[in-house]
Amino acid sequence: MSSDLSASKDNSGQEYRSLRSNVSLLGSMLGETMAQSHGEDFLASVERIRLLSKSGSMGDDASWEQLESLLGGLETAQLGLVARAFAQFLNLANIAEQHHGLSREMDAVNSASRTLSRAMDLLGEEGLDQEAIVNSVSDLSIELVLTAHPTEITRRSLIHKYEEIQRCLGQLESPSLTNYERSRMDRRLRELIAQLWHTHEFRENRPSPVDEARWGYAVVENSLWQAVPDFLRRLDDALLAATGQRLPLDAAPVQFSSWMGGDRDGNPFVTAKVTREVLLLGRWQAAALYLKTVDQLVQELSMIDCNEALRERVGGTREPYRRVLKELRGQLRSWLSALEALLDGRPAIEENLIRDVDALLEPLMLCYQSLCDCGMERIADGTLLDLLRQLRCFGINLVRLDVRQHSDRHSAALSEITEFLGLGSYVDWDEEKRRDWIQQELASRRPLIPQHWSPCDETQEVLDCCSVVVEQPPGALACYIISMARQASDVMAVRLLLKAAGGGETLPIAPLFETLDDLDRAPQVITDLLAVEGALGRLPEQQMVMIGYSDSAKDAGILAAAWAQYRAQEALLEVCAVAGVRLQLFHGRGGTIGRGGAPAHDALLSQPPGSLECGLRVTEQGEMIRTKLGMTGLAVKTLALYTSAILEARTAHPPTPKADWRHTMDRLAADSCDAYRAVVRDDPRFLTYFRQATPEGELGALPLASRPTSRKKDGGIESLRAIPWIFSWTQNRLMLPSWLGAGAALTKELTDHGDGVISEMFRDWPFFATRMSMLEMVYSKTDSRLSAHYDSKLVNPDLLGIGEQLRGQLDNDVVTVLKVLGQESLLEHLDWTRESLELRNIYTGPLNVLQAELLARLRRDADDDTRQAIMISIAGVAAGMRNTG
């Protein structure tokens, strides 16, 4: 299969030639495989489709019409094969690009190291002395929260093959490779690509929550486990070079948490039993990883000399380090066996269960200090130091688990209790009565749960979940998140239920503010909450609040949601400062712009001043986990970027918005919200149009995630989860949620008030500049011609006007945003990004055309072959667009 990347003009410099070479190599191998499997005629047909798409993308309307006609005339089985061809090429192109991004940075001056060194230089330029720089770095707190992968289309079987292909590409670039070794790598690549072609693209069944957790743990084992010590070595080196001091041994600037197996909001398959099993699996994985490393240390640390503390511990043993490590290895083996028993439903020997990371740290620190005292720092700072760093980061749980539940479930549980006690219905009480009653119960010594009471299944599950929470050892859980938290009693209700289960006093409880109204009300909710906590004498040192990006954007549009999130964070910082409480903000971002996604550096620098003082806690979702953290080198690079951005944002504070900037944003937010809701909410035909023009309904058949795509069956837009909402519009290339309302508001602002303030905001305010850059990227991924093609194939004639109106709005919006950017065209200053997108479109376009054709066929006459072909096309478009939900 040919590659336009190899033939494109070299306007991006010498450094991209290796990328084009690799894409061409992989494409030609894929073509050979297809020809061997389906004949030269099939390969020729695929090449003809590619050439027509290329000509069509360059403005040749006749070629595009031929493409539509050709694909429309193919049998469904042939469409499925064509979809596989283009989807696999896009996957291979992604691998080559990802490899290119890593390999060109793995030279003597590594990218991550450069990033961290620049961050240290910046701290010095901002006037920090060496001690202040050390403190700033030592106090870093980056917590990435891995969420389930409802848009991670690719099977783990294929992911492993992709990783192996990337490894082979890396080896092929070695200058010391012999001709035989090069030939062997070439054969291996051909073998892997043939394996890809002959492997089913999708799992047969939906993953269970436990399957999702296993996937998350696999990311830790295969990538993050080594990435953390690699990253910390670079951070240590950068700090030493800048200050002469090293990163403290007890520093843990990076941690990981997970929602997989803990997020029960709208997912009936996440039960107390599942959460308990996932927690045990995490500990089992941690024990296995620690055991492997300790085994290695037993082999390596054969030294004889030791300090007095270690000698006192081991007596006259000749090899003191091995003696201590063998004892630790025995503990780990016993722990592993105990965990296996619990996972099998058998009782475990209690004393074999390790419940505190200090039990592992103590003997290792003893060995580390002894090596240093005896002049063997080089040995101490090898595998042993890496293990100590891993213990600080991963603890005994591998990742900490977040528990999330909808506020209505807690209210319903309490209502069932109050009704049984003859107190009336909790859900019917006003907020004041709810708070008074909960405050009274929190102070009471009387049990909340009545004896001889049998709750309904839903309430029993809430109580069982609370029991699992309170039985966990310290550090197993990170927080309890309350979806759709609207008032202080929603937080207090969880505290009361945990008390009834026997504990949970120290577990952070984080209200999640998701809709526009919730964000506006958030400061008052936290004010009320802290007042109650203060009255009870239990005011926390730190209050966690989660900001929802996905649902707020779905509710009000991207621009109004962004301003509401900014204002809420500002107000929450003020509320907590008045109360003497530190605010820990938890950002619920997704990978796409419609879900709050943005390049890490730009996103963090656009935060309100002071919002990162307690560090960064942010979700990493779906396919973005694999894209940013799926391989060790990628993960090191990602962690370095986060670190640099946080250090920069905390020292070179972004400007506080001027009064006229705020007034302008208030108008933009209101106008954009009105424009967005006029389409999404107020037009009674819109929901029908959405479901006809996109593969939203068909997405539900994909075996992607354990959680249903909607909170309510047969519900409207408000009940649809944000991920399938975004995913559907990405597939038909209109990208509606990521731009609707914003351009219309900007146009009105420029017309009514001129461009003076807008230009100043774009120049001087990172928050606004980032929003404009995000819109530019979204517009570059839209394709009005393809959106119109979907409409022509799928939408009833009486609804076609909606799509025409939206595409007209899109065209107008692009003109407006280009005016703000001061550019003639999109991606004017991002040559390689523009070229990459244009080249991808040559392969993504046919996938869109055949997907529309297949959707039309499926809706006329459903059959399994058509469903399968649609699934392949969806995966292909997702690969072409890179971030999907």
Which stretches of 502-588 are DSSP H helices?
A: 516-535, 550-556, 558-579
Catalytic residue among 54, 149, 637, 789: 149
Question: Among 581, 573, 522, 528, which Cα is nearest to 547's?
Answer: 522
Q: Which 3 state secondary structure label does DSSP give 882? A: coil
Contacts of 872 (CB under 8 A, 6+ apart): 80, 83, 84, 87, 201
**Would you tell me how many other CB atoms lie within 10 Å of the CB of residue 195?**
16
Euclidean distance between CA atoms 91 and 412, whole angstroms: 46
Q: Helices marked H in 304-450 — which ranges?
A: 308-314, 320-343, 358-373, 377-379, 385-394, 407-420, 431-443
Closest CA to 485 of 540, 522, 524: 522
Q: By the 8 A CB rule, do 38 and 81 touch?
A: yes
Q: Are 757 and 667 in contact (CB under 8 A)?
A: no
Quote the CA–CA distance of 550 and 557 in Å, as a whole number. Answer: 10
Which DSSP state fits 261? T
The helix or strand, by DSSP H or E, that contains position 496, with its residue range, turns out to be helix 488-501
d(CA 867, CA 870) in angstroms, rounded, equals 5
Partners of residue 255 on adjacent β-strands? 143
- What is the C-alpha to C-alpha distance for residues 57 and 72, in angstroms, rounded to an integer? 18
Q: How far is the C-alpha of 396 from the C-alpha of 881, rounded, in Å?
A: 38
Hunting for tokens 């200050």 — which residue is that?
A: 243
Tokens of 210: 């436990």
> What is the DSSP annotation of 570-637?
HHHHHHHHHHT-EEEEEEE--SSGGGT---HHHHHHTSPTTTTTT-EEEEE-THHHHHHHSSHHHHHH
Answer left, alpha or beta for residue 225, where phi above 0 means left and psi between -120 and 50 means alpha.
alpha
CA dihedral 360, 365, 367, 373 (to 10 degrees): 180
CB 267 within 8 A of CB 723: no
Q: Kindly tell me the sign of the dihedral angle through the C-alpha atoms of 418, 422, 428, 432.
A: negative
Among 54, 100, 554, 628, the active-site one is: 554
CA 279, 285, 288, 294 torsion: positive or negative?
negative
The rounded distance, in Å, linking the Cα atoms of 571 and 611 is 11
* 3-state per-residue secondary structure call for 348-364: CCHHHCCCCCHHHHHHH
Q: DSSP of 265-318, one letter per residue?
A: TT-TT--HHHHHHHHHHHHHHHHHHHHHHHHHHHHH-------HHHHHHHTT-S
Tokens of 604: 């963090």
Backbone dihedral region for residue 660 (phi beyond 0: left; psi -120 to 50: alpha; all else: beta): alpha
Is there a contact between 202 and 871 (Cβ–Cβ < 8 Å)?
Answer: yes
554 is catalytic: yes
- Mapping DSSP to helix (H, G, I), strand (E, B) and coil, where does residue 416 land? helix
Q: Give strand pairing partners of 482.
A: 405, 511
Which residues are marked as active site?
149, 554
